[in-house]
């Protein structure tokens, strides 16, 4: 499935305290997805769930400081959820996939290797 780039952030922009100038230039993008997929570090996904639920699977071998952004792009996660597949790591110390079911929710996940865990921040 092809991804649509909405717009790259300008170097130095911030999203809730995350300085995007620290990200490689090729990873400062929001991508619109309409179907389930496995993501990689540094990608921000705008999920369109108007037609169906979506699963975003986190990277299989994350490294310390890896980040993934996930947003309910059209405010329909309350009807068609976004499942965050943990891919064998934990999310907030819980060994279960996470389900986003709140309209317009956005999260930033950061991998912390000392905890072997994805941590959540609101964005």
Using alpha carbons only, give the angle 90, 94, 99 rounded to the nearest 5 degrees: 90
Percent of the chain's residues with pLDDT above 90: 70
Closest CA to 67 of 39, 35, 95: 39
Low-confidence ranges of the chain (pLDDT < 50): 1-23, 27
Rounded to whole angstroms, the Cα distance separating 79 from 88 reads 27
Q: pTM here?
A: 0.76
CB neighbour class for 45 (10 Å; exposed up to 12, middle 13-18, buried from 19):
buried
Q: Tell me the per-residue pLDDT of 69-101, one tens digit each, with 9 for 90 and over.
A: 999 999 999 999 999 999 999 999 999 999 999
Token digits of residue 22: 């620290």
């Amino acid at each position: 499935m092809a991804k649509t780039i909405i717009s790259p952030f300008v170097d130095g922009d911030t999203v809730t305290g995350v300085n995007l100038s620290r990200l490689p230039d090729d990873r400062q993008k929001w991508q619109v997805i309409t179907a389930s997929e496995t993501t990689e570090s540094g990608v921000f996904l705008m999920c369109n769930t108007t037609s169906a639920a979506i699963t975003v699977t986190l990277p299989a071998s994350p490294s310390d400081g890896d980040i993934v952004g996930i947003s309910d792009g059209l405010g329909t996660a309350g009807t068609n959820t976004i499942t965050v597949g943990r891919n064998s790591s934990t999310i907030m110390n819980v060994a279960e996939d996470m389900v986003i079911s709140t309209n317009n929710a956005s999260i930033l996940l950061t991998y912390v290797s000392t905890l072997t865990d994805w941590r959540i921040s609101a964005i």
